[in-house]
């Protein structure tokens, strides 16, 4: 089983001083897992904020993702070494293939074996995938073995519950990491979520995050506001009832927010 923290800090779309402040605030209020990616263009700032925090590297869990331009066997490991330099560390805890990008000219077998190579070189402790459907996850398993796929990081929210893919991953023992758990904030104004939040004396964000945690997923919400960063963390102690969970289950509407042309495969 992978040992991926249940709660992390996402940095998607945050750049420059904004991401430095978010990571600093996150670390100060108690986050110990940080999620970034080569394409976010903020690895150096994340590294800077971590260095300034004085928190020991061993107390942190760092994830980055390889961008599609670096999938070839010649490029993947060098690109990860570049990321490590920016992040000011000898190794990250988890490295993911960011998108399957089926038509970018690099076969899945090539980038999955290059990723396994990065792990055997000690550049990353665990490896995994992101945005892979069932068929491509099966192909990845065929290359590296399911015990070597620590997680599939996928878009998951009360509006996009992805049950078919989740069931498959859980059967295979591959951990699920949910991103966009708040659907760009859309679920925060949902009447069902708001009613549960009121009953539980919680925020709508806490309810959506607690729902994902209850289903066994890891979450990586981001925020630029210190009070929201602190508040989101409290989702870990929010107890939802089976009835709350059932009400949220009924919100499924296949509400996908992210599916870039050429990068995504056919969704299940």
Annotated binding residues for substrate, as ranges?
98
Annotated binding site, which residues?
98
Residue 96 and residue 69 in contact, taking contact as beta carbons nearer than 8 Å: no
The span from the CA of 68 to the CA of 119, in Å, is 18
Which ranges in the chain belong to alpha helices (H)?
Answer: 16-29, 43-53, 73-87, 108-120, 134-144, 163-172, 191-200, 204-214, 226-233, 242-249
| 217 is an active site residue | no
Residue 74 and residue 97 in contact, taking contact as beta carbons nearer than 8 Å: no
Which residue among 31, 40, 71, 159 is the active-site one? 40
The span from the CA of 216 to the CA of 191, in Å, is 24
- CA angle, 49 then 95 then 74, to 5°: 110
Strands of 175-179's sheet in order across: 9-10, 33-35, 61-66, 92-97, 124-130, 151-155, 175-179, 218-219
Enzyme catalytic residues: 40
């Amino acid at each position: 089983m992978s040992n991926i923290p249940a709660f992390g800090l996402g940095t998607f779309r945050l750049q420059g001083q904004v991401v430095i402040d978010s990571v600093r605030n996150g670390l100060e209020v108690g986050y110990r897992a940080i999620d970034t990616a080569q394409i976010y263009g903020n690895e150096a700032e994340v590294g800077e904020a971590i260095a300034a925090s004085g928190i020991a590297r061993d107390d942190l869990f760092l994830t980055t993702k390889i961008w599609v331009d670096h999938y070839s066997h010649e490029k993947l490991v060098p690109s990860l070494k570049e990321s490590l330099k920016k992040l000011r560390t000898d190794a990250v805890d988890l490295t993911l293939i960011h998108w399957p990008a089926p038509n970018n000219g690099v076969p899945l077998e090539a980038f999955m074996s290059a990723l396994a190579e990065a792990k055997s070189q000690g550049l990353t402790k665990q490896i995994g995938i992101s945005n892979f459907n069932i068929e491509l996850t099966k192909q990845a398993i065929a290359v590296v073995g399911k015990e070597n796929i620590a997680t599939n990081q996928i878009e998951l929210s009360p509006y996009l519950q992805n049950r078919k893919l989740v069931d498959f991953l859980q059967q295979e023992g591959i951990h699920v990491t949910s991103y966009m758990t708040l659907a760009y904030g859309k679920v925060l104004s949902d009447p069902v979520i708001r009613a549960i939040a009121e009953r539980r004396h919680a925020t709508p964000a806490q309810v959506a995050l607690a729902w994902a945690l209850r289903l066994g997923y890891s979450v990586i919400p981001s925020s630029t506001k210190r009070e929201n960063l602190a508040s989101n963390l409290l989702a870990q102690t929010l107890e939802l009832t089976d009835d709350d969970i059932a009400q949220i289950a009924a919100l499924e509407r296949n509400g996908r927010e992210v599916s870039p042309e050429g990068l995504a495969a056919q969704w299940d």
